[in-house]
Amino acid sequence: MGELLDALLRCLLVLGAFLTLPLLVGQMEHKAMAHMQSRVGPMAAGGFHGWAQLVADGIKFVQKESITPVAADRRVFELAPAVALVPYLVAMLAIPLGPFFGQGNLIGQDLDLGLFFVLAAMSVGVLGTLMGGLGSGNKYSYIGGMRVAAQLMSYELPMVLAAASVAMAAGTLSLIGIADAWEPWWLLAQLPGLIVFFVAGLAELQRPPFDAPLADAELVMGPLTEYGGMRFAMFLLAEYAGIVVLAGLTTVLFLGGWAGPWSDHLGWAWTLLKIAGVSFLVIWARVAYPRLREDQVNALAWKVLVPLALAQVTLTTVLVVW
Amino acid sequence: MSLTELVFLVLAVVAAGSALLSMTSGQLVHSALWLVVTLGAVAGCFVLMTAEFVAWVQVLVYVGSVVVLVIFALMLTRQTSATTAEVTGNRWIAAALGVVAAIGLGATMVAGFRGEDIEGRRIGTAGSIGQALFTDWVLPFEILSGVLLAALIGAIVISRSGSDR
């Protein structure tokens, strides 16, 4: 009975994190981006610095009519937002937050193969955008879908290679094990892997500067063109949840997770702080860099990131064997 | 029948059913998407047989990459998403070959592993698969990588031969 209650409580906590953390990242995007562009961002909703802006957005989305275009492939079109969103919830189950006041590790479910579980879940999420592109019956969506597929195939390899390098160094595929095995000098030895992982993750989430599939100046909104109301909101939520999952994975793999002063008690706070920092970098990248052209996107993956990731794996092999 | 066996049975039915739908569906895109369901259900079966590593790699590689590759090829070669599958005369030969291969593989499995019990044994962890791969099965592993290299070189030769002419 106690075990069942424990599992239920953990699931509820993960669900709570899934419903709040992406909104916090979204609000951070509103405000941080605004200040970087010499604006103030939302100020009215909720009173204090527009803190309730995303809640207001959510209420607006709920009220909108749900429209399915006549030319759309109905079931594929309607299923796509769920396929995009749910995998990130599943991925969050396996990401550890670290020791919680000496009460053991704060994690949904400690998996033997957590790293592969999260990577597999992330790769399913992109299928949702692809389904949206295929099923909308709109040529802009279709071109966007092709770009999604090309981008996904290019960036999957460097991402997995970079993650494999850390797993090799730690000698385990368990995310808790990797974070426990982490040592500060890995920041230097795994730096190329960190860069490759972060950049490939940005591309996998189709975040700027890798948003060629959405490219509002060329393709209206790419695969999301025909979506409105709740379905569009689900795609938006999936994007922010994706940022949280990417930031969490980067933190646990490359930044030592809960490593920091008093980590036995405050480990979870360190992890959350690092996740917030990485999320901020994701937002900063959007403001700082212009969108890459479609051929540049693929050239970067195959000519820079894959060789860099292979070099990182070689370096790790030498370090581990030596 | 235990709960595990029941879940396994359900997943197996889902896998077989969606595979059938993927073959009979009129639209190629739907076939590719049903293939995702099949591969996911097979991954679930792997989890129940304690082969977690194989299961997650199956999702990562097949759902995440191979199906995307299939859809990408489909999008590049056909103009609309509503294209229907062409039925050629080879269909029945392919079906017969598929049935023969399935029966052959199934018979080999039953003959080799009948009565084996995986209860209480962890045979599918990353560690045990790595052990097996690099001790007992190292030669097949090396031959496989040679085959993949040959396929890679072949793809490069085929794709380049057009531009040289």
**Cβ-nearest to B60 among A119, A137, A153:** A119
Give the residue numbers spanning the domain of A218. 68-321
The partner residues of A106 in beta bridges, in order of sequence, read: A98
CB pair distance less than 8 Å for B67 and A173: no
Residue B3 structure tokens = 């709960």
How far off is chain B from A173, nearest CA to CA, in Å? Answer: 8
Average model confidence (pLDDT) across chain A: 86
Counted domains in chain A: 1
Residue A152 placed within a domain? yes
Residue A37 placed within a domain? no
CATH code, residues B3-124: 1.20.120.1200
Q: What is the rounded CA–CA span in Å between residue A292 and residue A289?
A: 8
List pLDDT tens digits, range B15-26. 999 988 888 877
For residue A209, cis peptide bond before it (omega within 30 degrees of 0): yes
CB pair distance less than 8 Å for B75 and A120: no
CB distance A297 to A203 below 8 Å:
yes
Residue A50 placed within a domain? no
Binding-face residues of A in 61-80 toward B, CB within 8 A:
73, 76
How far off is chain B from A92, nearest CA to CA, in Å? Answer: 15
pTM: predicted TM-score of the whole model, two decimal places: 0.86
Q: Is the pLDDT of residue A164 over 80?
A: yes
CB distance A131 to A76 below 8 Å:
yes
Q: Is A142 in CB contact (< 8 Å) with chain B?
A: yes
Q: Is A86 in CB contact (< 8 Å) with chain B?
A: no
What pLDDT is recorded for position B117? Answer: 73
Torsion of CA A237, A242, A243, A248, to 10 degrees: 130
Residue A202 placed within a domain? yes
What pLDDT is recorded for position B162? Answer: 66
Mean pLDDT in residue range B47-53: 82
Which distant-in-sequence residues (6+ apart) come within 8 Å of A191 by Cβ? Answer: none
* Residue in the structure block whose two tokens are 């590759």: B69
What pLDDT is recorded for position B82? Answer: 52
Element (H, E) at B155: helix B138-164
How far off is chain A from B96, nearest CA to CA, in Å? Answer: 32
Residue A299 placed within a domain? yes
Residue A54 placed within a domain? no
Q: Is the dihedral of CA A214, A218, A220, A225 positive or negative?
A: negative
Tell me which chain B residues have a C-beta less than 8 angstroms from the C-beta of A137.
Answer: 81
From the candidates A110, A115, A122, A123, which should be mutated to test the interface with B, based on the most B CB atoms within 10 A? Answer: A123
Tell me which chain A residues have a C-beta less than 8 angstroms from the C-beta of B64.
Answer: 120, 123-124, 126-127, 152, 156
First to last CA, chain B: 65
* Residue in the structure block whose two tokens are 């429209």: A67
Q: Is A156 in CB contact (< 8 Å) with chain B?
A: yes
What pLDDT is recorded for position B86? Answer: 62
Angle between helices A2-36 and A263-288 (to 10 degrees): 40
Average model confidence (pLDDT) across chain B: 83
List pLDDT tens digits, range A165-206. 998 888 888 888 888 888 888 888 888 999 999 999 999 888
Tell me which chain B residues have a C-beta less than 8 angstroms from the C-beta of A128.
Answer: none
Which distant-in-sequence residues (6+ apart) come within 8 Å of A215 by Cβ? Answer: A144, A147, A222, A291
Q: What is the rounded CA–CA span in Å between residue A219 and residue A212?
A: 9
Task: Report domain extents, chain B.
Answer: 3-124
Q: Is the pLDDT of residue A111 over 80?
A: no
* pLDDT confidence bin for A149, thresholds 50/70/90: confident
Q: Is residue A272 packed enough to be buried (19+ CB in 10 Å), middle (13-18) or exposed (0-12)?
A: buried
Number of neighbours of residue A68 by Cβ within 10 angstroms: 18
* pLDDT confidence bin for B81, thresholds 50/70/90: very low
Q: What is the rounded CA–CA span in Å between residue A33 and residue A41?
A: 8
Which distant-in-sequence residues (6+ apart) come within 8 Å of B80 by Cβ? Answer: none
How far off is chain B from A106, nearest CA to CA, in Å? Answer: 22
